[in-house]
Structure 1
Amino acid sequence: MRIFVMTLFKRLALFLVCCSLVVVTISCSDSSTGSNETSQTQLDSKKGPGQSAELFLNGDQYTSLEVEIDYMPGHKPTTDGLNSAKTFLEERLHKQTVTFSTPTEVPSAGQSSYTSSDVRNLEDQYRDQFTSTDGNTLHVYFLVLDGEYSQSNVLGIAYWNTSVAFFGKTIEDISGTPPAAPSEEKIESTVFRHEFAHNMGLVDNGSPMQTDHKTSGSAHCTTDGCLMKPSVRTTDFFSNFSGSVPPLDDLCINDLQANGGK
């Protein structure tokens, strides 16, 4: 009888240990699920340029916009260029505040040229701030690289819905002392504005056209002198630069206003 009781006690103890292990396993699984649910509250920052245009333009959900700035050695963006971009955003977005972070230097990737895939991979490495779907601040990423774009003569690209990149080596190569060559500040001011405008949905790429003014085959404007002319993102535009940053034409402004902007 005593042997039977001891055997029964051992079996009961083993059963309780197994139950404890099951509880621990279930707890770990719950923790993992909770982490996944948290990540799902983040705005999808890997959509195409212009696909979050309304979030840029209106102030219904995101009342503030913050721009995170990274640059590679030797290519820190100029203060004038950044101030120009900030002013442009304040003029066109219904945001209570537009903030540009202090530029942060990141390591060079050691390449003479970069593809759009390279740029996306670099963002994955260095971007720190992302947009919460239940917050009130829209976060944007801004990267200046130390090489050229894989497509010759291109100065900047909008490559995700909240991301823009600029090719510092190309900007530096075509800048100089006015009037013989445009200053680096003027080139940056122009190209920074142009690429941000793509993420506002121009042209007809997130902010629908109110009047037809889109070029064939690209999201650019047909109006002479407009900031969104296709040549503005290339070195070709600056070979005959007048010295002033081109404005958005009325047709582009109408598109932005119809989609929630100023």
Structure 2
Amino acid sequence: MKKKIAFTLLSGLLMLFSCSKDSEVTPSGSNATIDKSGNRLSTGASARDLLSNADYDKLLIEIDYVTGFAPTAEAIANFEEFLLARTFKQTIEFKYTSLASPNEETLTLEEIVDLETENRDEFNDGTTLAIHLYFADAPADSDNDEEGLVTLGAVYRNTSMVIYESTVQQMGNNSSAVTVSDVETATLLHEFGHLFGLVNLSTTSVNEHEDPDAENHCNVEGCLMRAELQFGTSLLKQMESRASKGLASIPDFDAECLLDLQKYGGR
């Protein structure tokens, strides 16, 4: 039985998982502090900051990955192209850090948050907006093999994301029509759409297009922000179908989501 893929949205976690202080003294022992409060808001709260240049003109994307589970160069190039096309940012920097495995068979959300707390180095600074991406070597604890349910990625807080790279690689390697970089790209773009505030995440849509059966996802057929699991069709199956028709395998935002992005300050 083919596994279904779930894009899991994990929003509103600030109150539950922000246990450490928002401002902390730097390890050097100086009196300088790091203000983390701007990176510990609810999902979608930084939509305008991500999309416009009003307060932040640079994106610094910190990519922490378990050794052997780094994203492909092609996926990151696609991701950067996407950000340049949908935001008004012209300066985007990627910082990579290889990490040891936490040696867990699966990862709970609490463990993901702890890993960010332990390893995240970059936070908002001046006109630079920092994003943290963690590429994991273990699947989500919520996966259910009996039901064929797996999770590729999730967002939590306003500038935080996890990609379950071991699951992404398995999906891509099991397909003859879709590559690992295709699955990585689709996951990154979908989850970043949630950081952009889609759909109705700390934002309000121009026109109502939220799926009544899939909160914070789009109801327009073929949109990148669809919750494919809710309709009995996995992302992988959709991408393979598009590829077989000669279309780009990775879906794009529909007209309604684009209207919302423009309202929030994007292109």
TM bracket, shorter-chain basis: 0.7 to 0.9
The corresponding residue for 1:143 is: 134
Matched, 1:45 2:36: no
Deviation string 1:47-104 (CA, Å, 9 cap, x unpaired) is 2211111111111110111101010122110001111111111111111312222x22
The corresponding residue for 1:28 is: none
Q: How many pairs were matched up?
A: 225
Alpha-carbon distance, 1:232 to partner:
7.6
Q: Cα–Cα, structure 1 residues 74 and 163, in superposed 2: closer, same or farther, change >3 Å? A: same
The corresponding residue for 2:86 is: 92
Gap runs ≥5 in structure 2:
1-24, 144-149, 244-248
What SS is found at the alignment partner of 2:185? helix
Matched, 1:75 2:69: yes
Deviation string 1:227-254 (CA, Å, 9 cap, x unpaired) is 0001289992203422311000010010
The structure that has the greater radius of gyration is: 1
Matched, 1:131 2:121: no
CA distance in 1 between counterparts of 2:156 and 2:58 reads 22
Retained in 2: the 8 A contact 1:154–1:235?
no
**Residue identity opposite 2:152 in structure 1:** L
Alpha-carbon distance, 1:38 to partner:
5.8
Matched, 1:251 2:264: no
Retained in 1: the 8 A contact 2:35–2:123?
no
CA distance in 2 between counterparts of 1:159 and 1:90 reads 23
Retained in 2: the 8 A contact 1:73–1:106?
yes
Aligned mate of 1:202, from 198, 202, 206: 198
Alpha-carbon distance, 1:151 to partner:
2.0
What SS is found at the alignment partner of 2:156? strand
Cα RMSD (Å):
2.4
* Structure with the larger RCO, 1 or 2 (CA within 8 Å, 6+ apart): 2
**Residue identity opposite 1:209 in structure 2:** S
CA distance in 1 between counterparts of 2:132 and 2:233 reads 23
Alpha-carbon distance, 1:113 to partner:
1.1
Q: What TM-score comes out, normalization by structure 1 length?
A: 0.79
Retained in 1: the 8 A contact 2:137–2:165?
yes
Deviation string 1:159-194 (CA, Å, 9 cap, x unpaired) is 12001110011111111275x352101000100011
What SS is found at the alignment partner of 1:158? strand
Flag the structure with higher strand content. 2
Q: What TM-score comes out, normalization by structure 2 length?
A: 0.78
Alpha-carbon distance, 1:117 to partner:
1.1
Gap runs ≥5 in structure 1:
1-31
CA distance in 1 between counterparts of 2:41 and 2:229 reads 24
The corresponding residue for 1:237 is: 235
The corresponding residue for 1:116 is: 109
The corresponding residue for 1:158 is: 155
Written as runs of structure 1 = structure 2, the 5 A alignment for 1:52-67 is 52-67=46-61
